[in-house]
Amino acid sequence: MDPAVIVLAALAFLYWLGSRRTVTPARTRNTQIVRASCFYLGLFTLLVALSSPIDTISEKLFWVHMVQHVLLIMVAAPLIVYARPWIRIWRSVPLGTRRTVAHSFSSGGRLSPLAHLGGYLGRPAPSFILFSVVLLGWHVPFMFDATLSSSAAHVLEHSLFFGTALMFWKQVIPSAPLHVTLAPSERVLYLIGAMVVSWALAVVLALSAHPLYSHYAHLLSRPGGLSAIGDQHIAAGIMWVPGSVTFVIVMFVYIHRWLMPPASAPAGAARLAGEH
């Protein structure tokens, strides 16, 4: 069994179990169905990215490897953040274990330094920096080639991509009980900044006159007869266009809300305001 399949199946089971232990009010039931669907779709996206022919073909084609990264960062992570699965997964754990863990992370507990570190790294600026550094750093040629020669480095790369993407997207997509501190206008700027970072990577890949990654440059043949530089240019296009779709969708949601006039006050409240 692929370890990724086991982990994803365990998460799906824990979410299902936690959902059975969570009472959903009737007024939010339809919304919860949508969120649950997004969570399972996010897990399925991770499964496709990590344990499907995509993972095998990515060793032969750089552009397929880039599709894998886009699925992790721009599809699976925002879907799971939007799903807000944290409380339901937490409730799948036995109550006694939850109390022990919560006490360990509370002030004065053994793991309280980790809680403080997590709180700091979960702020907007550190999350943005980590997201950008991880995205760009793993595409430095010697780092990227290392992931193709070491399975441990490959797992670490994907784990950091997905983990920092969760940290990034929770800054712009409400995911209770995690807090969003940015105003709608600030979220738009936050998204633009991250999109510029991804575009910078795409531009470097597209304008390079020679293949940047020795693993792909030295392959004797590729599916479809692609050249190494052609493969790299397609990868740049995937990072540039499909890799920007989620940024643009979330950005336009907040631009729309930002430009919408404030909701009018109820008639009774307006009448009372006029009388005073």
pLDDT tens for each residue of 238-254: 999 999 999 999 999 88
pLDDT at 261 over 80: no
| C-alpha–C-alpha distance, residues 258 and 263, integer Å | 12
What is the pLDDT, as a whole number, of residue 262?
63
pLDDT, tens digit (0-9, with 9 covering 90-100), for 103-145: 888 777 777 888 888 888 889 999 999 999 999 999 999 999 9
Tokens of 4: 């990724």
Burial degree of 54 (CB within 10 A; 0-12, 13-18, 19+): middle
pLDDT, tens digit (0-9, with 9 covering 90-100), for 40-70: 999 999 999 999 999 889 999 999 999 999 9
What is the pLDDT, as a whole number, of residue 111?
78
To which residue do tokens 């943005």 refer?
128
What is the pLDDT, as a whole number, of residue 33?
95
Does the predicted model carry a pTM greater than 0.85?
yes
| C-alpha–C-alpha distance, residues 232 and 203, integer Å | 11
What is the pLDDT, as a whole number, of residue 223?
82
Which residue would you say has higher pLDDT here, 264 or 134? 134
What is the pLDDT, as a whole number, of residue 179?
87
pLDDT more than 90, % of the chain: 66
| C-alpha–C-alpha distance, residues 131 and 160, integer Å | 9
Tokens of 268: 């009774």
